[in-house]
Structure formats: structure tokens, C-alpha cells
Amino acid sequence: MRAQAGRSSVTGPAPGTRTARCARPESLPDEDSAASRPRLTATANAAAAQAILDTVVSEGRSDRTKRDRPLLQFHPMVSFHYRTRYVGDRLLVQLPDLMADGPPQVVADLLAVALADHYRRKEPADRWSRYLAYRHRREVVARAQLLYLARNRQVRTEVRGSTYDLGELFDGLNALYFRGELPRPALAWTARPSRGTLGFYLEDFDVVVLSPVLDGPTVPRYAIESILYHELLHKAMPHTLGLHTERHHPPEFRAAERRFLLHEPAKAWTDAFWRTTAAPAAEAAARGRGRRR
């Protein structure tokens, strides 16, 4: 979103979407090498993981899938994305290493979705639903959150900024608008100031991230509070988490957003920030990209 609080969710491609085009390296790594072995925890093993993939392939009716002889690899990732790419004449399917010790049925479900997406077939909705249900378990989200914060260099996990403390702001908003009942998400600043997106909520990791352009003495407290409140509403109203703006902000969300005591002044500040700071910066960046071409 522009210079207003936005919500972003890191997920694997939704049913009906496609992955990026697959690159074909010149040669296939040795299957016994670390690069080609599935990355697994102590509770799983490479043979079992590959067996799951082989079963998924055998259950399919595509000769092309069987010809590609897919390999499975659990790869360190900051997101829940799956990836597919060719290594020589074989298809490498990479799943997030967080799934390495997941239930075999859920791993099989995600593999089936990844293969259907790669070959541009209709994804099995029941498998996608089971995978999402597992991914949104409280204990899985907690583990994913730790990995996200440890691996993502684009966020700073110190809640105390030079002017504002995100933890203090959260406590005040939680008491005033959520009766103190909203569980605290992880709170972070982006590592670099962003003028186009002032905030976002990542459901998969239960993380709220704000831009440090808000952490300054010239930013009114009500302005940063309103943006944090906006993101907390997404956590409190998970049905607003979708791929499109109209799903993000349905009428009931906008009604809740207007309950912020200084909603109008905060909106006026955000609009003025966009006109005077964010839009000119975006235009300058676009001109710079044009000159480099």
C-alpha cells in the first residue's frame, strides 16, 4: 500500500497461480552431496522424505512428472514459499525447512500443490486446505516467527526506537481498543526507512513491522499509533487477510478503523505525508531507474 498502513502475507502461491519460470543449470549435483540431499531434522530422514515425493508422483497421472523424476529438498527460507527448478534434466522441489519434521500427510499435501502449480494444473483444494490448517497452528506460527526474525535482514527486532517504543504503543492500544485481550505479536522496524509502505502485518509469522520513518520527533504520536492500530486490526480480524485490497479492508474493517479516537487527524497526516514525501520519492526513484536503462 502507499503511505498508509498495509498488510502483506508470505505464503506459497495460492491455488491457480504459477511459480516463476524454472532455470535449468547445466548439470545435476551428485545425489549424495549436501546440495542435493533433503535438509531434514533428526526426526525425519532423507529416504522417508523422498519416499513421500515418490508416492505423490506415482499417484499422479502425468507422464511428464514421472519423466522429470522429482527430487525433494528442504531449504532454509524466510517464508513458507515452495520453489521448483530444474537441475539438469531432473525437477528439484524445494520446501521450507520448517516443514522438514512436519506430518507426512501435510508434507505430501504441499508437494502435491507444488507439483500441480509447477505443471500449471489445478491444485487439489483439499490438500491446500490441510496444509494451511497445519501452517496456521499456534506452535507452527511460533517457530516460523523465530526463524523469520533470525533470518530476515530487512527487519530490526529492537522494539525501542529513538523516539517511540513499539511495545509501549502496543500495550496502550491493546488496553484501549482490544480490552487487553489481543495476544502480542512480534514487533519490528524495517531495517531501512520505507516511505511507500509505513507498516504491514505478516499473518504467517504473526509479525507487525513498521517503517522507521515513523520513529521521529516530527511524527505525531497519534499518527504512528493509528498505523500500528491498523495492523493490529488485521490480526484481530483474520477474515480480512486476503490477496486483494477489498478483502483487506471490507466495510466492517473500515468501521473498526474509524473507532481510533484521532482517526481523522491521523488520516490527514498520512495523506499529507504521501503528497509531500512518499510520492515525490517514488517519482524520483522511477526517474532514476529510467536513466539507468
Considering only 21-35, 36-50, 168-182, 256-270, which range has the smallest mean pLDDT?
21-35
Considering only 1-5, 14-18, 192-196, 268-272, which range has the smallest mean pLDDT?
14-18
Greatest extent of the chain over all pairs of C-alpha atoms, in Å: 63
Q: In this model, does residue 71 exceed pLDDT 80?
A: yes
pLDDT at 222 (0 to 100): 97
pLDDT at 79 (0 to 100): 81
Q: In this model, does residue 232 exceed pLDDT 50?
A: yes
Considering only 133-142, 166-175, 177-186, 273-282, which range has the smallest mean pLDDT?
273-282
Reported pTM: 0.72
Sorting pLDDT into bands at 50, 70 and 90, what band is 293?
low
pLDDT winner (highest mean) among 1-10, 17-26, 230-239, 284-293 = 230-239
Residue pair 93/72 in contact (Cβ under 8 Å)? The answer is yes
Give the span between the Cα atoms of 210 and 190, in whole angstroms: 6
Residue pair 169/225 in contact (Cβ under 8 Å)? The answer is yes
Reported as a single tens digit per residue, the pLDDT across 178-226 is 999 999 999 999 998 887 789 999 988 999 999 999 999 999 999 999 9
Q: In this model, does residue 245 exceed pLDDT 60?
A: no
Q: In this model, does residue 229 exceed pLDDT 90?
A: yes
**73 beta partners:** 94
Q: In this model, does residue 289 exceed pLDDT 70?
A: no
Residue pair 201/234 in contact (Cβ under 8 Å)? The answer is yes
Considering only 38-42, 81-85, 192-196, 227-231, which range has the smallest mean pLDDT?
38-42
pLDDT at 282 (0 to 100): 59
**83 beta partners:** 94
pLDDT at 5 (0 to 100): 43
pLDDT at 274 (0 to 100): 86
Q: Is 35 helix (H, G, I), strand (E, B) or coil?
A: coil
pLDDT at 102 (0 to 100): 87
